[in-house]
Amino acid sequence: MKKSFMFVFFVILLSTFIFAQAEYMPGVPRNELIIIENPDGRATDPGNFNLWAPGSPSWSRGLQQICMDALWYIDPDAGIEGDPWLNSLAAEPPIYNDDYTEMTIKLREGIYWSDGIEFSADDVVFTVETLKAHPTMSWGSNFQIYVDEVYKTDNYTVVLKLKEPNSRMHSTFTVRWSGCYIMPKHIYEHVEDPEAYKFNPPVSLGPYVLKSFDPNGYWTLWEKRDDWERTTLGKLYGEPGPNYVLYIGLTQERRVLDQMKHELDIIHDLAPEAAISLIQSNQYAVTWFDKFPWAHPDPTLISVLLNHEKYPYNIPEVRWALTLTINAPEVALASYNGAATLSPIAVPPTGNHLKWYFDPMESWLKEFYLEVEGEKFYPYDDTISHKVADLAKSQFGYEVPTDLEKIKESLGYGWWKYSPEIAEKLLRSQGFTKDNRGRWRLPNGELWKINIICEAEGRPIATRGAEKIAEQWRKFGIDAQIQGVSTAILWPSYLNPGNFEVAYAWNIETWGGHPDLSFFLRTWHSDYYKESGVLSAGSNYIRYKSEELDKIIENMQKTDFFDYEKNIDIGLDFLKLMVRDMPEIPLMSYNVFTICDGYYWTGYPTAENPYTNPVPNWANSKYMFPLLKPTGRK
């Protein structure tokens, strides 16, 4: 007990020492400083701020949020103007010609780099040409593939001539989590090797400039520009509240300790149990939902990914059988302590997706059926989310929502029935058998074994969710287990090259604030198909091919990005196909337990005031800064 107390005392003493140095830097009083967790942790090359370079440094230490700027942003929530589409460096949305082979960009005037040089068309042209000439740099391959020529017609107008029709060319320049940030021509034109250049100190287009950074890589300190009004954020939305911003990498234990002492204003994420404990202990805690389930549902869909090149996951009946042997409320409790937002369809249940997709799909889902042994089986259950709420209340004592609309918004609309008896019929129809020990065997007599690849380090929600599903499949008679791997290798070593049969991860990420699904769906067209063993061209890790899907994508590519009604219709066609085929099993949104501390600052975004995404490593989290106001505490 004494050793434990001494350890806690040492951690608090050490954190006080570290922050004393940040706090007592000349001119940096605590009540003018906002301290934000950087989930990247320690920057491996802390003196490198060249985010365009291959293997570029940590973007989430303020570099992409408050230093860089892009042409457009799409907020996953309501948007600071009440519209998720935000013109930033561009003065208006992109302008295409009739056949989408030319895109014109009208730029905002009166925006300046932090060294006093005016931002202009020269910077945009230079960015495209430089990255195109260096395809290993961020966004370079996109420009090399699609851009034939780029030029300016005046200081505030840029034209891109495209190699082929592309109605979504602007997406490269549009920030979701990130997007193509514009380079300062007057700096990089004098650089011999733009890939090796450190860009230190970075010249800023955002409202803050670099003040100092930890040479060991743990923190980065930014100071508000004297001319903040000459940036897009300041010009459009007013002066940012904090005079200083500190991004810092911390362990989970340190995050909790520091926020309890009001020395950490925004926590990026915590394990559910740690988050809930902190929320209950800190009277100043501000979360997306004021009560259960607290967390912000990101426009990212956690799913069970099934590789269609691996037998038997190429068989729809098998995929549906696996779906019907998942008990969703149990998975929600295991992974998120019940604070999960379920999705039975292939888009995350967040932002405006609820009105665009979930409301229109509800009646269709209730009428959808599988034909099993000549009889209709209706698999959708719109009471599943209510069951999750009831279990969370009975097992953990949480105060859960009872209002139907609140349940839909926070816990989801419903999910698929737990129906092992129907799953058994589906498998037997495909020649699967059970042995005398109740174990499922493939049609060739071999024991059916499933290995679920999942994250093992730093993301306990994934490990616990995958293990619960493996447990349920074992109960059904499948020899299932999980294989936890580090986040650093899950995508490059397993998902991208198709080096898996089943995985617990995600491959569907949407804009959130726009109904267009091209952000992930464009590269699911068979033209981009890559067999297992070759890196996927996009996020089609499951190697799913369908003529109907190709037609949907082709229709999408010919549709105006800003025609919401047509894009929603196309999206609904896609979602219905994904239900019928069940090429992967959608589970829930990636819920992030971002916790803000209201001791020094107020004005954080919430579900009641969803003006931007509070998750602080997202670039569009910059939109909270003009709305943050000091509480007056010293």
In tens, the pLDDT along 280-319 reads: 999 999 999 999 999 999 999 999 999 999 999 999 999 9
226 pLDDT higher than 80: yes
521 pLDDT higher than 60: yes
Phi, psi of 426 (to 5 degrees): -65, -40
Q: What is the pTM of this model?
A: 0.92
Query: What mean pLDDT do residues 546-561 have?
Result: 96
Pairing of strands 219-224, 208-213: antiparallel
4 pLDDT higher than 50: no
Query: What mean pLDDT do residues 162-179 have?
Result: 96
24 pLDDT higher than 80: no
Instruction: Note the pLDDT of residue 25.
Output: 62
Query: What mean pLDDT do residues 205-218 have?
Result: 96
Instruction: Note the pLDDT of residue 238.
Output: 98
Contacts of 323 (CB under 8 A, 6+ apart): 379, 416, 582, 585
CA distance 81 to 333: 36
Q: Which fold has domain 23-256+595-630?
A: D-Maltodextrin-Binding Protein; domain 2 (3.40.190)
CA distance 405 to 370: 28
Neighbours of 31 (CB within 10 A): 15
C-alpha dihedral (384, 479, 580, 530), degrees to nearest 10: 130
45 pLDDT higher than 50: yes
CA distance 584 to 619: 29
Q: What are the structure tokens assigned to 459, written together?
A: 């993301």
19 pLDDT higher than 50: no
Name the CATH architecture for the domain at 296-440+447-592: Roll (3.10)
Percentage of the chain exceeding pLDDT 90:
91
Give the CA count within 13 Å in the CB-facing half-sphere of 446.
Answer: 6
**Cβ distance 607 to 351 under 8 Å?**
no
DSSP-assigned states of every residue in 77-106:
SS-TTSSSEEESSBSS--EE-TTSSEEEEE
Instruction: Note the pLDDT of residue 384.
Output: 97
At 553, which helix (H) or strand (E)? helix 547-557
Q: Is the peptide bond before 165 cis (omega within 30 degrees of 0)?
A: no
11 pLDDT higher than 70: no
**Which of the two residues, 328 and 9, has the higher pLDDT score?**
328
Band of pLDDT at residue 2, cut at 50, 70 and 90: very low
Query: What mean pLDDT do residues 524-528 have?
Result: 94
Query: What mean pLDDT do residues 366-384 have?
Result: 97
CA dist 236 → 54, 247, 262, 601, 626 (Å): 33, 24, 31, 21, 10
Phi, psi of 329 (to 5 degrees): -60, -35
When the pLDDT of each residue in the chain is averaged and rounded to a whole number, the result is 94
In tens, the pLDDT along 105-160 reads: 999 999 999 999 999 999 999 999 999 999 999 999 999 999 999 999 999 999 99
In tens, the pLDDT along 586-615 reads: 999 999 999 999 999 999 999 999 999 999
**Cβ distance 61 to 42 under 8 Å?**
no
The domains of the chain are located at: 23-256+595-630, 296-440+447-592
Instruction: Note the pLDDT of residue 23.
Output: 47
CA dist 580 → 237, 281, 371, 427, 432 (Å): 45, 46, 11, 17, 21
Specify the residue for token string 């009001």.
Answer: 262
Query: What mean pLDDT do residues 569-594 have?
Result: 97
Instruction: Note the pLDDT of residue 17.
Output: 41
Phi, psi of 375 (to 5 degrees): -120, 155
CA distance 79 to 536: 32
CA distance 252 to 268: 10
Instruction: Note the pLDDT of residue 457.
Output: 67
Instruction: Note the pLDDT of residue 520.
Output: 95
Instruction: Note the pLDDT of residue 3.
Output: 40
Q: What are the structure tokens assigned to 324, written together?
A: 């019907």
